[in-house]
Amino acid sequence: MTATEILGTRRVRGGRERARVVVIGGGYGGQLAAQSLARRTDATVTLVNDGDRFVQRVRLHQVASGQPIDAPRFADLLGGTGVRFLDDRATGIDLAAHRVSLRDGGALDYDVLVYALGSHTPIPEHAHDVSTTAGAARLGERLRDARTGRVAVVGGGLTGLETATEIAEAFPRLTTTLVTDGALGADLSGRGAAHVRRVCARLGVRLLEHASVVAVRPDGLTLADGADEPADVVVWTAGFAVGDLAARAGLAVDARGRALVDATLRSSSHPDVVAIGDAAAAVGSDGSVVRMACATAMPAAQHGARTVAAVLAGSEPRPWGFRYAVRCISLGRRDGLLQVVHGDDRPRDLVLTGRGAARVKEAICVNALRVQTHPRIPTSA
């Protein structure tokens, strides 16, 4: 369906026009918000995503190691919900005119906009990434071609750790090194950090800690102390960034370009915009900005939908009040770590490890997809 056709279908119900909600970005946050809005309101809900399939980003390191994953079509996920789907790219927002312009030349008018454009990993030349399906698939081909050789995974966060262990398990003939500028597992409990180190040792993942990468070359890395770290394949996982659409439009943003929101997830400069997921700087119950994570994007989507429903009903939206519960990390397909955390994300001395943790992590990933069509399932972690 084209944007013009959608605008032409705005209907009148009971003598008043239905409100128009446009959701841009169909990731864990935007797709779930669109589903929730269709159930909670009688607005016309339009979801715009640049691609016709839902991407399970939390499984992209599996794609890189050659495992097929489900990528359901939005047409199937949204079937029967009344949400209109548009495979297009949002290229601009006119906040005064309440209009989103699209790559195909069309435009969508909105009464409320849900901004959910997510994030990506900016990568240096000669490096690979696992932050998009195309990037992960390219890396997978490169790893299969390499057969033997050295892989350097740069970034000691959760994505780097999941990627390095997945590659080491799937490609045992490659030598995998995890390069981090800090100490691996510094933000885990002592037991959690000890477990990830044990698993890295078992899988043959070499650790290069307190090593800051200043350049990626075709044949490896240059470190801040001048040392060379040879590598045939470099995977860059050091940090997510957001696009500049919000900033270009004139929405209030933080230094990283994420939309600033109030406690109800409405833009602090334009309250007819609700921002969720990686593209928003939402604050949890402890007062700090929540991590860019599926574990925060989905609860934000459900709350954002409640906020929109309240605004459309003319009532006062409620604050989000997000609290963390657990961090769940895959360490290959047969091991994992569940790190129980305080509401503010500080680790508690409580972990589940091994096959049990791998099974729980798999169940969480399955549930993250299931919630996309059952938006009332709670998603607190």
Calpha distance 143→122 (Å, rounded): 20
| Distances, alpha carbon 322 to alpha carbons 140, 262, 289, 325, 362, in Å | 36, 13, 10, 10, 23
Residues 304-343 within binding reach of ligand FAD (CB under 6 A): none
Cα–Cα nearest to 240, from 290, 282, 276, 293 = 293
- Which residues touch 291 (CB under 8 Å, ≥6 apart)? 345
What are the backbone angles phi and psi of residue 15, rounded to the nearest 5°? Answer: 85, -5
Q: Is 209 in the site for ligand FAD (CB under 6 A)?
A: no
Calpha distance 235→151 (Å, rounded): 7
From candidates 36, 37, 40, 57, binder to ligand FAD by CB under 6 A: 57
What minimum distance in Å lies between the beta carbon of 335 and ligand FAD? Answer: 14
**Residue 13 identity:** R
Calpha distance 34→139 (Å, rounded): 32
Residues 97-136 within binding reach of ligand FAD (CB under 6 A): 116-119, 130-131
Interface stretch with ligand FAD, choices 21-29, 226-234, 250-258, 345-353 (CB under 6 A): 21-29
What are the backbone angles phi and psi of residue 214, rounded to the nearest 5°? Answer: -105, -20
From candidates 139, 164, 231, 294, binder to ligand FAD by CB under 6 A: 294
What minimum distance in Å lies between the beta carbon of 100 and ligand FAD? Answer: 9
Q: Count of residues binding ligand FAD (CB under 6 A)? A: 36
For ligand FAD, the closer of residues 28 and 320 by Cβ is: 28
Interface stretch with ligand FAD, choices 15-23, 28-36, 137-145, 304-312 (CB under 6 A): 28-36
DSSP strand pairing (326-330 vs 273-275) = unpaired
Q: Is 150 in the site for ligand FAD (CB under 6 A)?
A: no
Q: Is 55 in the site for ligand FAD (CB under 6 A)?
A: yes
What minimum distance in Å lies between the beta carbon of 300 and ligand FAD? Answer: 8
Calpha distance 171→148 (Å, rounded): 8
From candidates 178, 196, 297, 312, binder to ligand FAD by CB under 6 A: 297
Interface stretch with ligand FAD, choices 1-9, 46-54, 303-311, 351-359 (CB under 6 A): 46-54
In three-state secondary structure terms, 100 is strand
For ligand FAD, the closer of residues 223 and 308 by Cβ is: 308
Q: Is 50 in the site for ligand FAD (CB under 6 A)?
A: yes
- The residue number whose beta carbon is nearest to ligand FAD equals 27
DSSP strand pairing (336-341 vs 326-330) = antiparallel
Contact 186, 270 (CB under 8 A): no
What minimum distance in Å lies between the beta carbon of 368 and ligand FAD? Answer: 8
Q: What is the dihedral of CA 34, 35, 40, 43, to 10 degrees?
A: 50
Interface stretch with ligand FAD, choices 6-14, 25-33, 75-83, 223-231 (CB under 6 A): 25-33
For ligand FAD, the closer of residues 167 and 231 by Cβ is: 167
| Distances, alpha carbon 297 to alpha carbons 117, 284, 294, 344, in Å | 11, 12, 5, 16
Interface stretch with ligand FAD, choices 44-52, 178-186, 188-196, 211-219 (CB under 6 A): 44-52
Calpha distance 55→3 (Å, rounded): 23
In three-state secondary structure terms, 143 is helix
What minimum distance in Å lies between the beta carbon of 292 and ligand FAD? Answer: 5
Residues that bind ligand FAD (CB under 6 A): 24-30, 48-51, 55, 57-58, 60-61, 89-90, 116-119, 130-131, 159, 162, 243, 245, 277-279, 292-295, 297
